Structure 1
Amino acid sequence: MSRIFNVAVIGLGIGARHIREGYMPNTDIFKVATLCDLDPARLKQYGEEFSVDHRTGDFDAVLADPSIDVVDICTPPNTHYDLIVKALASGKHVICEKPLVGSLEEIDRLIVHEKAAKGRLMPIFQYRYGDGVHKARRIIEAGLAGKPYIATSETHWTRLADYYAVPWRGKWATELGGVLMTHAIHINDMLSYLMGPVASLFARVATRVNPIEVEDCVSLSLEMASGALATVSATLGAAEETSRLKLCFENVTFESSHAPYHPGGDPWTIIPANPEVDAKIEALLEGWVPMKQLFSGQMRDFHDCLVNDKPTPVTTEDSRRSLEFLTACYWSARQKQPVAFPIGSDNAYYDGWRKS
């Protein structure tokens, strides 16, 4: 019988989705034992919905509870660093929503804490969990796709006044960024997951949709380490919400599902260059077993890593690459210059991009 880990969910905004979509489908391996939130009404609402009796607004009390194995941090982005450090110091395993922290300096310090900690740390990138993106990755890793040529990434969503009525959203101090940080971060992670690392980029950002501090429209031009080129666009003013990746390789063209919040899921369009490649892809994917999707799949893989002492399915280094990408975007947009990777401690934004 698999070990069941007791989880405390900290923050019941996106945290409620973690429970509904991540833990409830996996009750054989996780039990949500504690809810922690500063809003008593939310504690009552979700405590009743998910039948969780232990509810608190005291994070330190959660860490002091020896029955809690995993702390799942779903609070506003500006709080993540301190909460993660405290949770790791207490010996807990930690799951944390994106963005993991607010600068490369913070994540480099966090990596030091993680290496010294008893518990494991897993950032959330649930969009990786879909049959479509995993089939594409398998084809690429098998060498069937050939040389990467060009790609496009689109996050065209709608976020208007009602969304930004939540006080911490739309502000540099608390949300840490706009559409790049909070919305397009997922599909841009998928772009690198399939096309490899970014070598350089030029960014343009604008605030055109909402009266907020942070950006809500973005256009990026990327050169990948492989030599492939990519373009990225994102807006929060689309009349119809879609997400899309299109990747052109030497032997295969991939196009993702257009589902705004699950572009990694089936169906993907996979177009081989010729019948020979088609036959090899068909043989490679024969007998494909559908995987658990989104939060459910990532949480299940996290359990596997804890039980069998494997690397976390999404690593702190994965999150660092995402933060390096964001740092480069904000630096390039403000300096109106291209920026090359890697981004080191000599970059003016190494300690954060929330500056003029």
Structure 2
Amino acid sequence: MTTYTCAIVGTGAIAAAHAEAVVQSAGRARLVGAVDVQPDRAAAFGAAWDVPAYASLTELLEAQRPDLVHLCTPPGSHLALALECLAAGASPVVEKPPVLSLAEFDRLRAAEAEAGVPVATVFQHRFGSGAVRLRRLLAEGVLGRPLVASAHTLWFRDDDYFAVPWRGKWELEGGGPTMGHGIHQFDLLLSILGQWTSVTAVAARQARPTDTEDVSAALVRFESGALATVVNSVISPRQTSQLRFDFERATVELEHLYGYSDADWTLTAAPGTPDVLSAWESGPADTPSGHTAQFTAVLDALDAGRRPPVSTADTRVTMEFVAAVYASAFTGKTIEQGEITEGHPFYDSMAGSGVPWLDAARSVR
């Protein structure tokens, strides 16, 4: 059995989920080091997980030469760190959002191709057994055509949450809940419904002291003909994460908050389709969504010599969707898939040609 060595960069809250995933791998992976810009925090994390702490990624890479490096830092630092990992022959496992723009993402893909070392993005909701089952039944034709869907991430973050210097800033976080919160739910939606073709969206700053939006909503068309709504909010006191898929032969619904198990899914069969329910109730075993589920899939892929999920090809579909939401919201136009390319205002920044409320504030000054 191959044992993969792993390091963690950025020892904030989400780092514990990554460390736990490695520990839960039953010897298939082991932690060999951690890095944080705050030495005391790195030392505390290292002590908690029994690994050495390093002053920089450069020092860690030289000392340990890890197979995988989990990037758990703020989004604005992801690209530079991932490029350094690739140059050293280590595979970056990058928390969402992976980078700040499509331009940065294409730089990452080019470096990945040059290094011959794969990159994986953390979109852990793809890997719970409910999502695995849903994709399988759709592919097998059990559910019929997808017709209507929704992905609503209705969360609450108060003003203190945005007091952290990098939050709510386009140049540091890349966007608001469209980029950093709802991305998990609509990535799952996209992984099930396939290629989107157009987006018509709105976004606003309703209540929070941010440069970015605190709510967005989009209407989406897919190659299959399906239509979907996607809502992303951090101003909703009753928090919930909801997905709904209406197929020809069934409605499938998921409601949870930050992670789900099979108990959070429901299926309602259309009249006269009893086989749908029995198909839904057949395997796989209940596996909660989460970092452990995705990391297991990453290890399985590496053992088999395959590119680990979620690949940069998969992630680019989601990142282009994010850019399309902002482009549509800030220009008032419907954005077609493939429209945002080099030279487009929203290729280099999710803020694109300008953010209405920031432009209005500048004009007053």
TM-score using structure 1 length: 0.93
SS for the counterpart of 1:101 is coil
User: How many Å apart are 1:48 and its aligned residue?
Assistant: 2.4
Q: Over residues 244-302 of structure 1, what are the superposed CA-to-partner deviations in whole Å (9 max), with x where a residue is unaligned?
A: 0011111111101x211114754311111134x33255247534323363100111111
Aligned residue in 2 for 1:117: 115
Contact 1:18 1:295 in 2 (8 A): yes
Whole-Å separation in 2 of the counterparts to 1:111 and 1:314? 13
SS for the counterpart of 1:242 is strand
Whole-Å separation in 1 of the counterparts to 2:134 and 2:283? 15
Aligned residue in 1 for 2:286: 290
SS for the counterpart of 1:321 is helix
286-295 or 328-337, which moves further after superposition? 286-295
Q: Residue 76 and residue 239 in structure 1: after superposition, are their counterparts in 2 closer, same or farther (change >3 A)?
A: same
Q: Over residues 117-144 of structure 1, what are the superposed CA-to-partner deviations in whole Å (9 max), with x where a residue is unaligned?
A: 2432111101112122222111111111
Match of 1:246 among 244, 247, 265: 244
Where does 1:3-42 land on structure 2 (aligned, <5 Å)? 3-42=2-41
Identity percentage of aligned residues? 31
Match of 2:133 among 127, 132, 135: 135
Structure 1 spans left out of the alignment, 5+ residues: none
Whole-Å separation in 2 of the counterparts to 1:89 and 1:13? 25
Letter of the 2:43 partner, please give it.
Answer: K
1:321 aligns with 2:317: yes
User: How many Å apart are 1:21 and its aligned residue?
Assistant: 3.9
Contact 2:100 2:173 in 1 (8 A): no
Aligned residue in 1 for 2:143: 145
Q: Residue 41 and residue 187 in structure 1: after superposition, are their counterparts in 2 closer, same or farther (change >3 A)?
A: same
Q: Residue 191 and residue 31 in structure 1: after superposition, are their counterparts in 2 closer, same or farther (change >3 A)?
A: same
Contact 1:199 1:341 in 2 (8 A): yes
RMSD over aligned CA atoms reads: 1.8
Aligned residue in 1 for 2:266: 269
Aligned residue in 2 for 1:61: 59
Where does 1:1-356 land on structure 2 (aligned, <5 Å)? 2-52=1-51, 54-256=52-254, 258-263=255-260, 265-275=262-272, 277-283=273-279, 285-291=281-287, 293-343=289-339, 344-355=341-352, 356=354
SS for the counterpart of 2:151 is strand
User: How many Å apart are 1:211 and its aligned residue?
Assistant: 0.8
Whole-Å separation in 2 of the counterparts to 1:331 and 1:112? 24
Whole-Å separation in 1 of the counterparts to 2:29 and 2:288? 15
Letter of the 1:197 partner, please give it.
Answer: Q
Whole-Å separation in 2 of the counterparts to 1:260 and 1:66? 37
Letter of the 2:202 partner, please give it.
Answer: R
Structure 2 spans left out of the alignment, 5+ residues: 355-365
- Number of aligned residue pairs: 352
Contact 1:139 1:281 in 2 (8 A): no
264-273 or 238-247, which moves further after superposition? 264-273
Contact 2:68 2:92 in 1 (8 A): yes
Letter of the 1:210 partner, please give it.
Answer: R
Contact 1:150 1:229 in 2 (8 A): yes
SS for the counterpart of 1:262 is coil
Q: Residue 63 and residue 118 in structure 1: after superposition, are their counterparts in 2 closer, same or farther (change >3 A)?
A: farther
TM-score using structure 2 length: 0.91
Q: Residue 74 and residue 259 in structure 1: after superposition, are their counterparts in 2 closer, same or farther (change >3 A)?
A: same
Letter of the 2:126 partner, please give it.
Answer: R
Contact 1:222 1:231 in 2 (8 A): yes
Letter of the 2:318 partner, please give it.
Answer: S
Q: Over residues 70-101 of structure 1, what are the superposed CA-to-partner deviations in whole Å (9 max), with x where a residue is unaligned?
A: 11111111111111111101111221111112
Whole-Å separation in 2 of the counterparts to 1:153 and 1:260? 12
